[in-house]
Structure 1
Amino acid sequence: MRQLCFEYFNRGGMFGWMGGGLMMLFPILIVVLIFYFFTKNDKSKTIENSTPLDILKKRYARGEMSKQEFEDMKKDLQ
């Protein structure tokens, strides 16, 4: 009986090749999740790609400045 048990697990047990494949999916999934979290689009990347005039327009649209301040800063940028 003992010999039979060891032979069963030496051949891969009840999982066989499927168990090995599932074991490889776990590290691959971890790597994919890490890659996703580091490459997802966050606010810092959009600010780097914006021109100063775009940033000024966004600030004006959010109501951070008055129309006069917007016009003055816009004139300074041009």
Structure 2
Amino acid sequence: MANGKTTLYERVLSASGLSRIFVDGVLRRACARANVNVDTMTPEGLRKALPYIEDSLRIYLPPNEVERRVGAIRKLAE
């Protein structure tokens, strides 16, 4: 949390539904593949990274849970 304010990336971590310690590396790699810096992530960057995030979550979550979590993450990009 930077300056007491929750960053967009931190909200994405929470919305993923996975352990924060575990999912941080997973999501950082997904964002890197999309050339999105998690430290300066904007809604536009999140939209760009979303397909990579979804692919990564599919490895760890059942399909119905992926849909639910990606839907929650997608709302953060609006």
Q: TM-score, structure 1 length as denominator?
A: 0.29
Q: TM-score, normalised by structure 2?
A: 0.29
Greater relative CO (CA pairs within 8 A, separation 6+): 2
